Amino acid sequence: MRILRKLRLGTLFRGLSLLLEDVNPVYPMLLLACLITILFLKSSIEEETSKLNSRQDWNTATDSIFYPGCIDTQQYLGDANYMGQNATFLMLARNSELTEVLSTLENIESHFNQWFHYPYVFLNDEPFTEEFQHKVQQLISSEASFGILNEEQWTLTDSSDLDENIQVQGDRDILYGDNPSYHKMCRFYSGWFYRHELVQQYEWYWRLEPAVEFYCDLTYDPFFEMSKAGKKYGFTVIIPELQETIPSLFRSTLAYIRENQIKVGSLWKLFSMDHHLVSNLTSILDKLINYPDDIMDKISDEIAIEHLLDHGLDHKDTTISSFKKLLSRSTTPAPMMTRKYSDLQYNLCHFWSNFEIARVDIFDNEIYRGYFNHLDQSGGFWKERWGDAPVHSLGLSLTLNVSDIHYFRDIGYKHSTLQHCPKNAQGGELTYITTSNRWERKNEQNQYDKGIKTGSGCRCKCPNSAELEDNQSYCQEIWLNLIKDPHPNKPRKPIFEYNELKSVLKKDFLSNLKTS
Return d(Cα 402, Cα 385) in angstroms, integer. 27
- Which 8-state DSSP code applies to residue 114? H
Closest CA to 108 of 249, 177, 209, 20: 209
131 neighbors 155 (Cβ within 8 angstroms): no
- φ and ψ at 238, to 5 degrees? -130, 125
Q: Give the N- to C-terminal CA distance of the chain in Å, as an integer.
A: 47
Crossing angle of the two packed helices 316-331 and 292-311, in degrees rounded to 10: 120
| CA–CA dist 332, 319 (Å, integer) | 20
Residues 239 and 420: their CA atoms lie apart, in Å, by: 11
Sign of CA dihedral 475, 479, 485, 489: positive
Active site residues: 356
Determine the Cα–Cα distance for residues 302 and 319; give it in Å rounded to an integer: 13
8 A C-beta contact, residue 290 and residue 275:
yes
Q: What is the bridge-based pairing of β-strands 356-359 and 233-235? A: antiparallel
User: Concatenated DSSP letters for 286-338?
Assistant: HHH--SHHHHHHHHHHHHHHHHHHHH-SSSHHHHHHHHHHHHHHHHSPPP--T
Where would I find the H helices in 192-313?
222-229, 249-260, 268-271, 283-288, 292-311
**Cα–Cα distance between 449 and 502 in angstroms, integer?**
56
CB atoms within 10 A of CB 511: 10
Rounded-to-10 torsion of CA 323, 327, 328, 329: 100
